[in-house]
Chains A and B, each alone.
Chain A
Amino acid sequence: MIAMAKCVEYGEHEVDGEISIDLGPISLVIARESPDLVKVFTRANGQESSLGSINVPIGKPVEILPHPPAGGRVKVDHIMIKLSEDISIPPGGSVTFIQYIPIDIAINVGGSFLRLVPVRAKYALYGPPDLGTLCRYSSNIILKDLPDCLKAQIKIQIANTGSEVTQVSRVVLPLKGIGLYLSSTNQPIASSASMKVLNQTYAEVTTESTPSAEADRISKRVVEPKTSTYIMRYGL
């Protein structure tokens, strides 16, 4: 029996036969192999890619939850958010705006995190090859192919604390600080971030502990946010 579930249905799923979860560019399939094991794989253009098996006894549900973007095949600790347009900020100026970032899918069983499914991963290098940082990449081109349930809104505040006009085209955030919430309509919402720009080659980006939306829109906290800072030294 194949049941199709939309990815907006975050939460618990019983795996009796096979469930297929639409993740936009790919489908996540969880199929029962034995009374104790289920097989997890993704399907894209008819091609299957295995993510291994996990121990899920019959009767125990699998919980599908959004997860902050992480490294897929590449281990990364940061995400680079490429802004659709450069923003010029005068000295002492400040701007707050909403962006979206791609998110991944976590498979939990009995409250334990067991598997991460990166949906549309793309990477970028921030800085020179020897001293720079590999980042998960987010841009409009990546986001336009993703359904709403696979992108989280994030509020970013940029303040120019320097004495010169600065131009910002990207923001590099530490992934470990990003928290994630679900709205009442199951829309993922990330924790907010702030960026203090000193000059064109120095900015402090900090993940905040507050969600990127009003408290009354939040129905569940999925991943607790942490305050974490990254210093952008290689241009904005």
Chain B
Amino acid sequence: MSIYEWIVVNAYLIKYIAAVVAFVVFYYLSKIVAKQVSRLKIEAKPETIHNIERATRIAVIFVGILVALSIAGVDLGGLIVAAGFAGLVVGLAAQQTLSNLFAGLVLLIEGRIKVGDAVKINNEWGMVESVGIMSTQIRLWSGEILTLPNSTILASPIYNYSRSVARRVDIKIGISYRSDIDKAIEVIKTVLWNNELVLAEPEPVIIVDSLAESSVDLKILFWVPAQEFWTVRKVVIRDLKKALESVGIEIPLPQRVVWLREVSKATT
């Protein structure tokens, strides 16, 4: 078989390969274009630039899909008409399924969650195990796998703890009314500075939060790398207690002063 004959016989195969190649080219082109967009010297909020970058990428990928389909010989005009009819029929028949499907596509395109993210969805805490077209699996901290329909996920508030590179730790500590507040604040600042993982910027904030029943309450706010949140939190609480006690600052137990009035004999 000559090369010409081979090409004629395998014309469809060549078209499909060309379509795949076109899509791959557009896929990588989308990355390059998005990177260039992120470097644009425009006066806009960083979030806006980030969204423009993502929208550009999606647009280039979409064009890539259309080009690939066109190369593969799909009649795009006919496809749109057929899609309209099919959408009407299937949409009525499989409303719930399609709802999950579109929710899945939205999740995949928007990238709200991805595999490995620590999340709280629908009041369930865990790590994303897989993001499917119809459902998403979350491995709960207790080990079980929870499968949620994508429409449920899309309708729920999603707390993604892996998306941020840093998280804020809030700690409240009460010191006794006899203790020196300024000294306590200095000790707390030193403990925070000495901990490598407490971020220097944004600077930690220590405020006198309230004059409570048994203590003067100090609120301590500081930032840590997101993946070290729990580790740093527990170490800092331990170190704060030790440091405050070492300089004689008391962390009091809840207490109540009871005044006893002697009832006069005259009234008895």
Contact = CB atoms under 8 A, between A and B. Distances in A.
* Chain B associates with chain A: yes
Given A127-B46, A233-B46, A73 B165 contact: no
A202 B43 contact: yes
Interface string A119-140: 0011111111111111001010
A125 B201 contact: yes
29 contacts: A73-B196, A73-B228, A74-B228, A123-B196, A123-B199, A123-B200, A123-B225, A124-B199, A124-B201, A125-B166, A125-B201, A126-B201, A127-B46, A128-B47, A129-B164, A129-B165, A129-B166, A129-B167, A129-B226, A130-B163, A132-B166, A134-B166, A137-B199, A137-B200, A141-B193, A201-B43, A231-B39, A233-B46, A233-B49
Contact of B197 (A74, A126, A141, A201): A74
Give the size category of B's interface with A: 20 to 34
Interface string B165-205: 11100000000000000000000000001001101111000
A131 B46 contact: yes
A130 B197 contact: no
B225 A134 contact: yes
Q: Top 9 nearest A-B pairs by Cβ distance? A: A124-B201, A129-B164, A137-B200, A125-B166, A124-B200, A129-B166, A233-B46, A74-B225, A130-B164
Give the size category of A's interface with B: 20 to 34
A128 B167 CA distance: 10
A202 B42 CA distance: 9
Contacts of A130: 163-165
Interface in B120-144: none
B26 interface: no
In this complex, which of B163, B201, B202 has the most chain A Cβ atoms within 10 angstroms of its Cβ? B201
A157 interface: no
Interface in A42-90: 72-74, 80, 82
B165 A72 contact: no
Contacts of B226: 129
A215 to B, nearest CB: 33
Contact of A123 (B49, B163, B197): B197
Interface string A139-170: 10100000000000000000000000000000
A224 B197 CA distance: 29
A209 interface: no
